[in-house]
Amino acid sequence: MIPSAFEGARIVMCKELRVSFRQQAGWCAMLMFALTTLACVSLSLSGGILEPKLQAALLWVILFFSSMAGADRGFADEDMAGTLPTLRLYGASQSVLWGKVGYTFCLLLILAAFLVPLYLIFLDVMILRPLWLLAAIIVGMAGLSIAGTLLGALATGASVRGGIFTVLMLPVILPVFLPGIALTDMAFGGEGGSGSYLLGMILYDLMLGVAASLLFDYLWYDD
Amino acid sequence: MIEITFEDVCAAYGEHVIFSHLSKRVIGGHITAVTGENGSGKSTLLRLAGHLLHAQVGHVLVRVDGKEIRQSELRSHIAMVTPEMKLYDQLTARENMDFLLRLRGVALTDAMYKDCIRHVGLSEEELEGKYIGTFSTGMRQRLKLAVLFLSGADIWLLDEPGANLDAAGRGMLLQASRQAADMGRIVLIATNDNEEEAAADDTIRL
Residue contact B95–A221, C-beta within 8 A: no
Neighboring chain B residues of A3 at a CB cutoff of 8 Å:
102-103, 105
Per-residue pLDDT, B93: 95
Lowest mean pLDDT among A29-43, A66-80, A119-133, B4-18: A66-80
Q: How many domains does chain A have?
A: 1
Of the pLDDT bands very low, low, confident and very high (cuts 50, 70, 90), residue A1 is confident
Per-residue pLDDT, A176: 93
Residues 34-63 of B with CB under 8 A from A: 50-54
Can you state the angle between helices A5-23 and A25-45, rounded to 10 degrees?
Answer: 70
Per-residue pLDDT, B32: 95
Neighboring chain A residues of B90 at a CB cutoff of 8 Å:
18-19, 22-23
Of the candidates B63, B54, B59, the one whose C-alpha atom is nearest the C-alpha of residue B28 is: B63
Of the pLDDT bands very low, low, confident and very high (cuts 50, 70, 90), residue A160 is low
- Residue A150's domain spans which residues? 5-220
Looking at chain A, how many residues does it have? 223
Per-residue pLDDT, A29: 83
- Asked if the model's pLDDT at residue A7 lies above 80, the reply is yes
Q: Mean pLDDT over residues A38-61, rounded?
A: 88
Burial of B182 (0-12, 13-18, 19+ CB in 10 A): exposed
Per-residue pLDDT, B177: 95
In this prediction the pTM is 0.92
Digit-coded pLDDT (tens) for A202-220: 999 999 999 999 999 988 8
Per-residue pLDDT, A24: 79
Digit-coded pLDDT (tens) for A89-119: 999 999 999 999 999 999 999 999 999 999 9
Using 50 as the pLDDT threshold, list the residues of chain B that sit under it. none
- Asked if the model's pLDDT at residue A26 lies above 80, the reply is no
Neighboring chain B residues of A93 at a CB cutoff of 8 Å:
71-72
Q: Does residue B89 belong to the interface with chain A, where contact is any CB pair within 8 Å?
A: yes
